[in-house]
């Protein structure tokens, strides 16, 4: 079990889960909807199954590449801890569980589940042909708040879509920062990323642009929550925390200094997403 949790980096669920729960809370706040445990369990289950399928498939597909890269050669498949076929079976089991869970939630979730899997699993192919792989990864995680809202209401909302846009650009931006570590390797092996295709300087500029859009999206949602009469000081505090984290992570990394990439990627984004989620959910449900 520990090997498979490491394979899918289960602890990284912390990035998207708070926003799935924000989408869930937004759905509950809609008129005539009440809390039901089956929806909450379903949302969390969908997050775990979809993410586990995507990560396991990524590790399976990249096993030969990971073996060549000194930074990734210690991962479970190239290190021999998990067989490639076992990782593929694990992927299929989680994909099936995701679809089944969506079926139990509502019809719209079920009908959209293959599209969600196509995006999350398809991401693993994108770095073989486009530098926009970061955006596809962001799109996969952006489904979290939108999908959670649909789980409760069986319909779309502009508010959840704006949250999705914020998550898309947030994840895309910090994935570009993380990819700085492998730009030379990617370039030498015909793989694509913003740093590999355009250099570290331009990649960081694009990451900043994406995070600027993130900040705008979260400010818009803060205004929408204010109009709905949510607890203002909680909304303002959450927005300040998250936007500040965007600024901090860019101050930690430069094109000539990658020594704090892990700090920018894991600590800054992980802590800010949890704090933001807690404060926004509290503002909605209090």
* pLDDT the model gives residue 31: 67
User: Within 10 A of 70 (CB to CB), how many other CB atoms are there?
Assistant: 7
**How many Cα atoms sit within 13 Å of 134 on the Cβ side?**
25
- Please give the Cα distance from 70 to 230 (Å, whole number): 49
CA distance 51 to 187: 27
CB burial string 131-164: b at 16+ within 10 A, e below: bbbbbbbbbbbbbbbbbbbbbbbeeebebbebbb
Q: Which pTM does this prediction carry?
A: 0.94
pLDDT above 90 covers what percent of the chain? Answer: 80
pLDDT over 80 (residue 12) = no
Q: Taking a C-beta distance cutoff of 8 angstroms, is the pair 234, 279 a contact?
A: yes
User: Hey, where are the domains in the chain?
Assistant: 2-285
Phi/psi at 75 (nearest 5 deg)? Answer: -65, 160
Per-residue pLDDT, 212:
98
Band the pLDDT of 34: cuts 50, 70, 90. Answer: confident
Give pLDDT tens digits for 238-270: 999 999 999 999 999 998 888 888 877 777 888
More confident: 102 or 15: 102
Residues 186, 79: Cα–Cα separation, whole Å: 20
Q: Where are the alpha helices (DSSP H) in 180-268?
A: 183-188, 194-198, 200-227, 232-252, 261-262
| CATH number of this structure's domain 2-285 | 1.10.357.140
d(CA 206, CA 202): 6
176, 207 Cβ separation under 8 angstroms? yes
- Give 60 or 231, the one with higher predicted confidence: 60
> Mean pLDDT, to the nearest integer, of 159-169?
96
Q: What is the pLDDT of residues 61-109, one digit of tens each?
A: 999 999 999 999 999 999 999 999 999 999 999 999 999 999 999 999 9
Q: How far is residue 163's CA from residue 214's CA, in Å, rounded to a whole number?
A: 9
Going by pLDDT thresholds of 50, 70 and 90, the confidence category of residue 221 is very high
Sign of CA dihedral 150, 18, 51, 176: positive
């Amino acid at each position: 079990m520990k090997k498979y949790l490491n394979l899918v980096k289960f602890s990284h669920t912390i990035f998207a889960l708070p926003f799935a729960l924000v989408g869930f809370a937004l759905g509950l706040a809609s008129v005539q909807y009440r809390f039901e445990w089956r929806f909450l369990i379903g949302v969390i289950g969908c997050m775990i199954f979809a993410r586990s399928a995507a990560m396991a498939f990524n590790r399976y597909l990249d096993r030969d590449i990971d073996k060549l890269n000194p930074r990734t050669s210690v991962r479970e498949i190239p290190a021999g801890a998990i067989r490639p076929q076992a990782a593929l079976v694990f992927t299929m089991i989680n994909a099936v569980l995701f679809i089944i869970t969506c079926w139990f939630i509502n019809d719209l979730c079920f009908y959209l589940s293959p599209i969600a899997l196509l995006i999350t699993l398809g991401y693993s192919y994108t770095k073989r042909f486009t530098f926009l792989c970061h955006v596809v990864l962001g799109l996969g995680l952006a489904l979290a708040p939108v999908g959670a809202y649909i789980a409760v209401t069986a319909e779309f909302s502009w508010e959840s879509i704006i949250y999705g846009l914020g998550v898309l650009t947030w994840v895309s931006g910090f994935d570009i920062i993380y990819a700085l570590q492998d730009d030379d390797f990617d370039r030498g092996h015909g793989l694509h990323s913003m740093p590999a295709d355009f250099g570290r300087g331009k990649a960081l500029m694009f990451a900043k642009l994406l995070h600027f859009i993130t900040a705008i999206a979260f400010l818009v949602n803060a205004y929408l929550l204010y109009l709905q009469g949510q607890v203002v000081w909680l909304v303002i505090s959450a927005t300040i925390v998250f936007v500040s984290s965007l600024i901090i992570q860019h101050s930690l990394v430069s094109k000539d200094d990658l020594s704090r990439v892990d700090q920018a990627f894991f600590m800054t984004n992980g802590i800010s997403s949890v704090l933001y989620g807690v404060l926004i959910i509290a503002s909605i449900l209090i």
